[in-house]
Homo-oligomer: A and B are copies of this chain.
């Protein structure tokens, strides 16, 4: 029996119990945006970590939910692997679109439906299970493990950077297993080494004291036109952002990254069909499209509201106020605070300095070396474990709170394949995972934890 088969067999013999653990974890309504059920979920998690032999600490700063740190002492105490997950979940609205109650994990057709099943309790519980299987098969870990689980990822990780700074000594590690990659729709595993950043701004302008009859638009200033023209000034006619300095810090892909881009799968026709379009913007296709997806920042209008908006209705109003929301997806090494300053300077210089431009949140983009010790271990293991080849993304195109770990604490991050799929309905009703993926990821995690111990530090 090969080593990997031993692992598979060990997972299988406890699979029912591991699934029960996941169902139990999914029974807690740990919705951070609503402050619900976090404490009970933290107690359950602490119990699991204690069962596995960890020393557990609760890390917090004033106002924050508690992050849990479960420390396992390894045979070689000079080397430490961090595993990052989060125990909070998204809200469940609209509740009436769920086919089964979101906090009663339900099996249907080989899938498990529950809020958090994919994001990210599935990975969290799979990794706890992997620690158990590892210890059962191999005894003490050869290196220290710091199992670090925050409770506010789904509400913007507002305090996360401060927690990481306040406990930088406690969190010191050599590598970090991030939240979790994916399987694609065809079941091919995917992993990534970084993420885009996000700067979320809200523009607001009040031009006159109150709404007026539109006949006076002749002489009274229009908040709607002012904010509209301010937004229009951010881009040229091709859709490129023209804010001075916006692109200055962008790091182009290196040789290895270009190879990864070449190898990336992107089913253009399927995506066009899903969106109901015949062309991507700027006619993007092939490598250009993949390049933009990972290396191009965006300035997206997430919302704009002014005046009277009942479809088909008529009100001849000059609206007093206008509001717009823009989310900028940032790429390494753009900095959210700096970009917000550039946007404000741009608005001022273009004659829109009277528009309030608030930053609602920002998370910086993050990237880690593509040849980290963990990365090599996870890639080598994936090549043996999965029947399909691994797709490696230098970054994921979405955003997560990686920056405080990867850049703040200087710990290289890698996000090996995890339990989710693109149709897992993350942040949506009927979130689910394939139960076989869950077992598969437990075994794969055991295998790369073992491989990591046998990989020479880079």
Contacts and interface: CB of A to CB of B under 8 A. Distances in A.
A429 to B, nearest CB: 14
Between A218, A228, A303, the greatest number of chain B beta carbons within 10 A of the residue's beta carbon is seen for A218
A308 B360 CA distance: 14
B304 A322 contact: yes
A301 B361 CA distance: 29
Contacts of A276: 208-209
Given A208-B275, A220-B280, A235-B225, A323 B300 contact: no
Contact of A228 (B214, B231, B280, B319): B231
A361 B302 CA distance: 30
Contacts of A208: 275-277
Interface in A264-296: 271, 274-277, 280-281, 284, 289, 292-293, 296
A325 interface: yes
A91 B435 CA distance: 58
Given A329-B214, A398-B213, A228 B225 contact: no
Contacts of A289: 219
A309 interface: yes
A312 B360 contact: yes
A284 B228 contact: no
Contact of A229 (B214, B219, B232, B296): B232
A440 interface: no
A272 to B, nearest CB: 9
Interface string A314-326: 1111110011010
B305 A304 contact: yes
A43 interface: no
A339 interface: no
A53 interface: no
Interface stretch (A58-66, A167-175, A195-203, A341-349): A195-203
Q: How many copies of the chain does the oligomer comprise?
A: 2
A444 to B, nearest CB: 26
Given A302-B214, A306-B304, A314-B360, A284 B219 contact: yes
A221 interface: yes
A361 to B, nearest CB: 6
Contacts of A296: 218
A218 B329 contact: yes
A209 B275 contact: yes
A94 interface: no
Nearest to A285: B219
A223 to B, nearest CB: 9
B307 A218 contact: no
A337 interface: no
Which 7 pairs across A and B sit closest by C-beta, in order of nearness?
Answer: A303-B307, A305-B309, A224-B301, A209-B276, A217-B300, A232-B232, A219-B280
Interface of A: 156, 196, 198, 200, 202, 204, 207-209, 212-222, 224-225, 228-229, 231-232, 235, 237, 239, 271, 274-277, 280-281, 284, 289, 292-293, 296, 298, 300-309, 311-312, 314-319, 322-323, 325, 327, 329, 360-361, 397-399
Given A220-B280, A224-B301, 15 more contacts: A202-B311, A207-B277, A208-B276, A214-B329, A216-B397, A217-B298, A222-B281, A300-B316, A300-B318, A301-B307, A302-B315, A302-B319, A304-B305, A307-B325, A309-B323
23 contacts: A200-B314, A209-B276, A212-B275, A214-B300, A214-B327, A215-B298, A216-B397, A218-B292, A218-B397, A219-B271, A219-B281, A222-B300, A224-B304, A225-B235, A228-B304, A300-B316, A301-B306, A301-B307, A302-B317, A302-B318, A303-B308, A303-B319, A316-B327
